[in-house]
């Protein structure tokens, strides 16, 4: 299908017509809200970067926003363009075909159509899911169940696909009307056990008290998958799942996907924290700010080297905005040898002005606290708590996953987590009174857990007399 000089797509948000995308003759795409949507009292904006009280939005924000609805993987985009006979794999062209089930509550359809006009979903047998997992492992650009007319679009780089789970546990391929509820992942191509590392990292993070999307492993014949429950779906008993609107930080800041890493000109910790302070509802701001700070610390402790701006999101529920649960967490400390993590790993966002894990210490954490707008003493407490608990939470998260994670690999995960946790505690230590303790802002020092007179003493902060 040849590109048209002038074209329109309708954008629907949670079942309401939000507005229209318009592509001009030169290829620029703009967005205009529908007056009926602007009149709604408690509806979210399409994006923080495109507030609904402003009717028309220019290409500078519209085009990056819709581009971020699609996979980062250019091979997937090229495959879709070829499948639908599109001359160019632009976001506008591809969303015409694959926009019926995007991230959040967004549905993009050709102008004049309603997303519920299409068929709802196709039941899938275990053998069909297994066959598609094999196909995806052979070619990680094969995201969609093309033979069933799958119509979903997700961001990200690694191979994945989205399905809906019925109340009876059966799996279905949504084709437009119904919303997908779960995302299937097989890991990063060429990185052994990366899917298992994501499963373990997500579970460990949840055990540490962070808000994290639910995750499980599943087998279909001889094929394993990590299955993530979508936090942007609200399942009602016996009825179709409702879409909840969300957007990643690149979308909220009006940035292209190429700027997802800070080193490529993307946002840093301070930028994200300022966005949260500006966008989140006042009633939820303290919690969202603390959740962001915990996520930043976790990515340091776990060596989350791919924790870029597209792996953080805002969740819009009506007119209320909060920081979304965490997703796509993968600890490099589980996959890489300890020395490689220690001396070569770099964070996706600077912590207190530093990328390199080997260079990070207490002073960087204190600077990060200022960037995040949180108390430095509290953030140091979080860091020590996470670092000391990391090996045990990894061990518990890996337990019971013997089919996905062989015993020797699970043991390696735990050993590497222990080495990483020790590195973080060591990075926080300073010499104090001839011994080693962790520097706490405000003049206290961290005393690690130890034995005294045959009794166990838990780790604790010690305040120096006279302070």
CATH code of the domain in which 406 resides: 1.10.1070
Q: Which residues of 52-62 are buried (b: 16+ CB within 10 A; e: fewer)?
A: beeeebebebb
- With 90 as the cut, is the pLDDT of residue 73 above it? no
What are 268's two structure tokens? Answer: 């840093």
Residues 30-47 have pLDDT tens digits of 999 999 999 998 899 999
Mean pLDDT of the 425-442 span? 56
Same domain, 290 and 417: yes
419 against 167, higher pLDDT: 419
Mean pLDDT of the 86-110 span? 91
Same domain, 443 and 405: no
Task: Report yes or no on 127 lying in a domain.
Answer: no
With bands split at pLDDT 50, 70 and 90, how would you rate the model's confidence at 265?
very high
Whole-number average pLDDT of the chain: 87
Task: Report yes or no on 453 lying in a domain.
Answer: yes
Give pLDDT, residue 157.
53
Question: In this predicted structure, which of 149-153, 178-182, 424-428 has the lowest mean pLDDT?
Answer: 149-153
Mean pLDDT of the 411-439 span? 76
Give pLDDT, residue 121.
74
Give pLDDT, residue 148.
37
Mean pLDDT of the 286-314 span? 97
Using left for φ > 0, alpha for ψ between -120 and 50, and beta otherwise, residue 27 falls in: left
Task: Report yes or no on 449 lying in a domain.
Answer: yes
Q: At what angle do helices 91-98 and 74-83 cross, to 10 degrees?
A: 60
- With 70 as the cut, is the pLDDT of residue 317 above it? yes
Give pLDDT, residue 432.
31
Given 74, 96, 114, the domain boundary residue is 114
Mean pLDDT of the 61-65 span? 97
Give pLDDT, residue 1.
43
- With 70 as the cut, is the pLDDT of residue 463 above it? no
Tell me the torsion sign for CA atoms 190, 192, 194, 196: positive
Task: Report yes or no on 14 lying in a domain.
Answer: yes
Give the residue ranges of DSSP H helices in 208-284: 249-252, 269-279
What are 273's two structure tokens? Answer: 């924290």
Same domain, 14 and 103: yes
Task: Report yes or no on 182 lying in a domain.
Answer: no
Give pLDDT, residue 462.
54
Q: pTM of this prediction?
A: 0.87
With bands split at pLDDT 50, 70 and 90, how would you rate the model's confidence at 147?
very low
With bands split at pLDDT 50, 70 and 90, how would you rate the model's confidence at 190?
confident
Cβ–Cβ under 8 Å, residues 387 and 421: yes
Which residues are CB-contacts of 423 (< 8 A; sequence separation ≥ 6)? 338, 341, 342, 357
- Give the domain range for residue 451: 429-463
Task: Report yes or no on 382 lying in a domain.
Answer: yes
Same domain, 320 and 418: yes
Same domain, 418 and 445: no
Mean pLDDT of the 142-165 span? 58
With bands split at pLDDT 50, 70 and 90, how would you rate the model's confidence at 430?
very low
Give the chain's domain count: 3
Give pLDDT, residue 3.
47
Same domain, 436 and 288: no
With bands split at pLDDT 50, 70 and 90, how would you rate the model's confidence at 61?
very high
Give pLDDT, residue 318.
85
Give pLDDT, residue 101.
85
Same domain, 292 and 380: yes
Same domain, 433 and 345: no
315 against 80, higher pLDDT: 315
Q: Which residues of 161-187 are buried (b: 16+ CB within 10 A; e: fewer)?
A: bbbbbeeeeebbbbbbbbbbbbbbbbb
Given 75, 99, 114, the domain boundary residue is 114
Task: Report yes or no on 122 lying in a domain.
Answer: no
Which residues are CB-contacts of 274 (< 8 A; sequence separation ≥ 6)? none
The owner of tokens 């966002």 is 349
Residues 44-56 have pLDDT tens digits of 999 999 999 999 9
CA distance 281 to 150: 36
Same domain, 418 and 448: no
Same domain, 372 and 434: no
- With 70 as the cut, is the pLDDT of residue 441 above it? no
What are 292's two structure tokens? Answer: 């962001």
Cβ–Cβ under 8 Å, residues 117 and 126: no
CA dist 333 → 1, 60, 265, 343 (Å): 47, 38, 26, 12
With bands split at pLDDT 50, 70 and 90, how would you rate the model's confidence at 188?
confident
Same domain, 454 and 412: no
Task: Report yes or no on 402 lying in a domain.
Answer: yes
Give pLDDT, residue 139.
78
Using left for φ > 0, alpha for ψ between -120 and 50, and beta otherwise, residue 39 falls in: alpha
- With 60 as the cut, is the pLDDT of residue 438 above it? no
Same domain, 386 and 406: yes
Determine what percent of the chain is predicted with pLDDT higher than 70: 84
- With 80 as the cut, is the pLDDT of residue 292 above it? yes
Given 68, 96, 114, the domain boundary residue is 114
């Amino acid at each position: 299908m040849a590109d048209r000089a002038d074209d329109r797509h309708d954008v629907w948000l949670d079942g309401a017509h939000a507005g229209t995308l318009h592509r001009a003759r030169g290829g620029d795409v703009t967005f205009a809200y529908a007056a009926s949507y602007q009149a709604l009292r408690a509806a979210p904006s399409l994006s923080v970067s495109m507030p609904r009280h402003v009717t028309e939005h220019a290409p500078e924000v519209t085009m990056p926003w819709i581009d971020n609805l699609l996979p980062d993987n250019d091979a997937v985009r090229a495959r879709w363009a070829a499948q639908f006979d599109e001359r160019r794999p632009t976001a506008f062209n591809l969303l015409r075909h694959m926009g019926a089930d995007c991230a959040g509550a967004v549905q993009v359809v050709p102008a004049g159509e309603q997303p519920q006009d299409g068929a709802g979903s196709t039941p899938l047998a275990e053998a069909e899911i297994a066959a598609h997992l094999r196909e995806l492992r052979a070619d990680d650009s094969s995201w969609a169940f093309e033979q069933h007319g799958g119509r979903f679009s997700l961001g990200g780089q690694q191979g994945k696909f989205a399905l809906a789970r019925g109340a009876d546990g059966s799996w279905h391929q949504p084709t437009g009307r119904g919303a997908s509820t779960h995302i299937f992942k097989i890991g990063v191509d060429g990185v052994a056990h990366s899917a298992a590392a994501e499963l373990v990292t997500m579970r460990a993070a949840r055990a540490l008290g962070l808000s994290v999307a639910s995750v499980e492993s599943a087998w279909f014949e001889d094929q394993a998958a990590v299955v993530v429950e979508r936090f942007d779906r609200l399942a009602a008993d016996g009825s179709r799942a409702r879409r909840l609107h969300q957007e990643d930080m690149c979308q909220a800041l009006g940035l292209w996907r190429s700027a997802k890493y800070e080193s490529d000109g993307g946002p840093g910790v301070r930028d994200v924290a300022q966005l949260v302070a500006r966008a989140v509802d006042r009633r939820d701001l303290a919690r969202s700010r603390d959740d962001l700070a915990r996520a930043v610390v976790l990515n340091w402790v776990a060596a989350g080297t791919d924790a870029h701006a597209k792996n953080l999101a805002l969740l819009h529920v009506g007119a209320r905005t909060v920081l979304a649960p965490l997703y796509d967490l993968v600890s490099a400390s589980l996959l890489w040898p300890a020395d490689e993590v220690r001396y070569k790993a770099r964070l996706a966002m600077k912590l207190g002005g530093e990328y390199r894990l080997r260079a990070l210490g207490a002073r960087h954490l204190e600077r990060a606290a200022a960037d995040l707008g949180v108390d430095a003493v509290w953030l140091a407490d979080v860091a020590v708590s996470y670092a000391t608990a990391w090996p045990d939470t990894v061990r518990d998260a890996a337990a019971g996953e013997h089919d996905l994670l062989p015993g020797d690999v699970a043991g390696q995960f735990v050993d590497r987590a222990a080495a990483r946790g020790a590195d973080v505690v060591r990075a926080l230590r300073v010499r104090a009174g001839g011994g080693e303790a962790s520097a706490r802002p405000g003049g206290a020092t961290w005393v690690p857990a130890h034995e005294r007179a045959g009794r166990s003493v838990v780790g604790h902060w010690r305040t120096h007399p006279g302070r």
